């Protein structure tokens, strides 16, 4: 498997991006401001992440997605570790990520990858998404913010 930057002339794998963020409007907004990296095997895209500069010396991992048929094989962890190294290589001092209160697997994965919970944005998903989101039988309401010093 190879992880590389998605070039500006390449088509974004929108179906993958929408797995991690169901708002096409928000996805289209941040993919144009950030840098996208894809995990591929042959010519098949298996995963993607987007790094978005937010403040001086800070970058946010705003979308990380793995194709459903290959989830649970360590690709998400590889993408997260690649994002952390890419942020370090670019000179960032902090990398942040946000996920839903109902995203139990993602919360565990981010913490295993060195992120620490630094805050909660109550009702973020209620305010920013028209339709209710449910994962693991839990309504996704709050954004859990995590951060890691690089």
- 68: which strand partners? none
CA distances from 17 to 4, 53, 89, 92 (A): 16, 18, 24, 24
- 150: which strand partners? none
Spatial contact of 37 and 84, defined as CB atoms under 8 Å apart = no
Q: What is the pTM of this model?
A: 0.91
Spatial contact of 51 and 57, defined as CB atoms under 8 Å apart = no
Q: State the average pLDDT over residues 137-148.
A: 96
CA distance 64 to 52: 12
Query: Domain span at residue 117?
Result: 2-149
CA distance 76 to 136: 18
CA distance 94 to 71: 27
pLDDT at 21: 87
Q: State the average pLDDT over residues 3-31.
A: 91
Tell me the per-residue pLDDT of 55-80, one tens digit each, with 9 for 90 and over: 999 999 999 999 999 999 999 999 99
Domain with residue 83: its CATH number is: 3.40.630.30
Tell me the per-residue pLDDT of 93-138, one tens digit each, with 9 for 90 and over: 999 999 999 999 999 999 999 999 999 999 999 998 888 999 999 9
Overall number of domains in the chain? 1
| Residues with Cβ within 8 Å of residue 140, at least 6 apart in sequence | 100, 101, 102, 103, 125, 132, 133, 134
């Amino acid at each position: 498997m190879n992880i590389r930057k998605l070039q500006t002339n390449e088509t974004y794998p929108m179906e993958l991006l929408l797995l991690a963020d169901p708002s096409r409007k928000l996805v289209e907004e941040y993919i144009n401001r950030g840098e996208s990296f894809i995990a591929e095997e042959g010519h098949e895209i298996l995963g993607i992440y987007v790094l978005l500069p937010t403040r001086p010396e800070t970058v946010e991992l705003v979308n990380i997605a793995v194709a459903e048929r290959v989830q649970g094989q360590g690709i998400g962890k590889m993408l997260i570790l690649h994002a952390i190294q890419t942020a370090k290589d670019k000179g960032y001092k902090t990398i942040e990520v946000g996920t839903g209160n109902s995203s139990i697997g993602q919360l565990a994965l981010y913490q295993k990858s060195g992120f620490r919970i630094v805050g909660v944005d109550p009702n973020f998903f209620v305010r920013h998404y028209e339709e209710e989101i449910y994962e693991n039988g839990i309504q996704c309401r709050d954004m859990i913010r995590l951060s890691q010093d690089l």
